Structure 1
Amino acid sequence: MCILFLFINPRPKVGEYKAIIVNNRDEFYNRPTKPAHFWDDTIVGGMDIEEHCKGGTWLAASKGGKISCLLNVFQPANSFTTGKVSRGFLVVDYLNSCKKGHQYMEEVKNSGKIYNAFNLITLDPEGNSYDVNFYNSESKVIHQIQPGFHGFGNSPLMKPFKKVEKGKTMFQDLVNTYGEKEHEEKLITELFTMMQNKDLNLPDSQLTEQGKGHTEQFVKKLSSIWVSCPDANYGTRTTTVILVDQEDQLVYRERTMQDPANPKNPVWEHNNFTFTIAPADTCKST
């Protein structure tokens, strides 16, 4: 389970942002993870270092300004199967490629590779804004996402969980209030606070439907933006804010639990990166 909120400004003025992103990563507390860092000086993001999917990620950005996020689709308890292709490399392969999001998604769609269900979001620098695409592995439909405010979670695009709808409203209010460069630190602080919201968003028929076979208590706890399920060894481990301003400065702020993650007494690590997007993407493949 993860959640992402996104604002795309189609015509940013001086002092405004092209893109504002905030994401919570929910994962097993004992899954080994590297905090956000630069990989080979071209990609910034956290890294999964669990043995069978080492080198993958859930969210990252390239020096060329491409950004991508992977959201696993919540499935009934008997639907997830092992032995499928790791989903975490979808983000990495996109960022390392010279392909635009829509082209890359077409290749994923037609690759014949078998994954557990996922949603993939890609952002390509386009003029003075971003071109955003969304792909759901079950529907196999690619959606071009229009400028404005959006929320994405662990369900089909047209069937959002209630917490996604609530969070989108909260996100829009914050961006409308603090979404200019002069308020940058306040915006970041407020976004981190928003993503710690523990209010339950119930009843949620879509969450209940996708949660068949899981315990009622576990599904209930998944209904909040900030997830905490210590009994299941699962919850929110990392929050990330990404801002891209009108002058192509990218700010990447991460707040993450240090390994070994202890939800009852967590030690929080803060990782901050700022760079100017390169004029051309330093892609590694064609």
Structure 2
Amino acid sequence: MCILLVHINPSPRPGQYRLVLVNNRDETYARPTQPAHLWPSGIYAGMDLEPGREGGTWLGINEGGKIGCLLNIFQSANNFGKNGESRGSLVVEYLQSPKCGDEYLNEVSKSSSKYNPFSLITLDPENNSYTLNYYTSRPENKQQLDPGTYGFGNSAFDKPFRKVEKGQKKLQEIVCSLGRTEQEQELIEALQAMMQDAEPNIPDPKLSEQGCGYPEEYIRALSSIWVTCRKVGYGSRTTTVILVSEDGRVVMRERTMRHPVNIDSLQWDENTFTFSINRS
């Protein structure tokens, strides 16, 4: 369970942002993960270190400003295929590919059946703004979205969970009040605070339907933007903010639980990366 919130400005003026993005990664606390860093291939991202699936990521940006994000589609445990290929490689391959999001997702759609259900969101810098494409494997759906404010979670895009709707509305409010570069630190802090919202958003019929067979306590935990489910050792581990200003300056800030995670005595790592989009 993860959540991605994105605001794209179609025609930013000086001092405004082309893109405001924030993501929570939810994962088992025991899964080994390397914090965000600059990869030799020119990608800024965290890295999955799970044996057999190492080398993938859930969210990343390359030096040219391309951004990719992977979200799973929530389903009952009985429907999860243990032998599905690693989906984290999809983000890496997109960020290393010269193809735009639309082309890459067309390619992915031809072989999506070998993975457990997922959504892949791609963002390409274009004409001083961004072009957003997304693909969901089951039920299959591929679209390009106009600039605006969007929320993505672990369901079909047109059937969002309540927490995604709440986050999307809150992001609009934050960008409206703090969406200028001179307020950058306040903006980042407000985005991080929004993603730490642990209030349950229930009842949520869509979440309950997709999670059929799970205990009600687990569904309740998953209904929050910030997830904590101690009994199964699972929850929100990482919050990442990515800002791209009108002049192409990128700020990426990650706040993540230090591995190995001790939920009773948490330690946090925070990394910030700043660079200008390479237009070559």
Please tell me the TM-score bracket, short chain as reference. Answer: over 0.9
In 2, the alpha carbon distance for the partners of 1:27 and 1:5 equals: 18
CA 1:4 to 1:120, structure 2 compared with 1: closer, same or farther past 3 Å?
A: same
How far is 1:187 from its partner?
A: 0.1
Q: 3-state SS of the aligned residue for 1:61?
A: strand
Partner of 2:194: 194
Q: Which SS does the other structure have where 2:79 is aligned?
A: coil
Corresponding position of 1:203: 203
1:140 Cα offset (Å): 2.3
Instruction: Using the TM superposition, give the Cα deviation of residue 111 of structure 1 relative to its aligned residue in structure 2, in angstroms.
Output: 2.7
Matched residues in 2 for 1:203 and 1:111: separation?
36
Task: Write out aligned runs for 1:14-163 (5 A).
Answer: 14-40=14-40, 42-111=42-111, 113-163=113-163
How far apart in 1 are the matches of 2:5 and 2:264?
A: 27
- In structure 2, how many angstroms separate the alpha carbons of the residues matched to 1:185 and 1:133? 29
Q: Write the deviation string for residues 172-208 of structure 1: whole angstroms up to 9, x where unpaired.
A: 1111000110100000001001100011101000000
Residue 113 (structure 1) shift: 4.8
Partner of 2:235: 235
- Offset from partner CA, 1:80-115 (integer Å, 9 cap, x none): 011111100010000000001011011011136511
CA contact (8 A) 2:112 2:137 kept: no
Identity of aligned residues (%): 52
Counterpart of 2:20 in structure 1: which amino acid? I
CA distance in 2, matches of 1:208, 1:92: 32
Distance across 2 between alignment mates of 1:52 and 1:21: 30
- Distance (Å, rounded) in 1 between the aligned partners of 2:96 and 2:70: 15
Q: CA separation in 2, counterparts of 1:211 and 1:84?
A: 20
Q: Is the CA contact (8 Å cut-off) linking 2:258 and 2:269 kept in structure 1? A: yes
For 2:262, the equivalent position in structure 1 comes to 262
The SS at the match of 2:172 is: helix
How far did 1:141 drift? Answer: 2.0
> Which residue number in structure 2 is paired with residue 3 of structure 1?
3
What CA distance in whole angstroms lies between the structure 2 residues aligned with 1:212 and 1:234?
Answer: 18
Change (3 A) 1:14 1:102: same
Q: Is the 8 A contact 2:58 2:91 kept in 1?
A: yes
CA distance in 2, matches of 1:216, 1:241: 31
The residue type equivalent to 1:217 in the other structure is E
CA contact (8 A) 2:26 2:227 kept: yes
Residue 167 of structure 1 is matched in structure 2 by: 167
Partner of residue 283, structure 1: none
Structure 1 stretch displaced more, 208-217 or 139-148: 139-148
| SS of 1:186 mapped into structure 2 | helix
Paired letter, 1:2: C
Q: 1:154 to 1:112 in 2, by over 3 A?
A: closer
Task: Tell me, in whole angstroms, the C-alpha distance in 2 between the residues paired with 1:153 and 1:112.
Answer: 18
Paired with 1:111 and 1:210, the residues of 2 have a C-alpha distance of 24
Pairs within 5 Å for 1:214-233: 214-233=214-233
* Matching residue's letter, 2:135: Y
Is 1:77–1:212's contact at 8 Å kept on the other side of the alignment? no
Residue 145 (structure 1) shift:
1.4
Q: Secondary structure at the match of 1:78?
A: helix
Q: Distance in 1 between matches of 2:76 and 2:112?
A: 23
What runs of 5+ residues in structure 1 fail to find an aligned partner?
A: 281-286
Does the 8 A contact of 1:72 with 1:154 survive in 2?
Answer: yes
User: Deviation above 3 Å: which 4+ runs of structure 1?
Assistant: none
Offset of residue 41 of structure 1: 5.3
One-letter amino acid of the counterpart of residue 72, structure 1: N
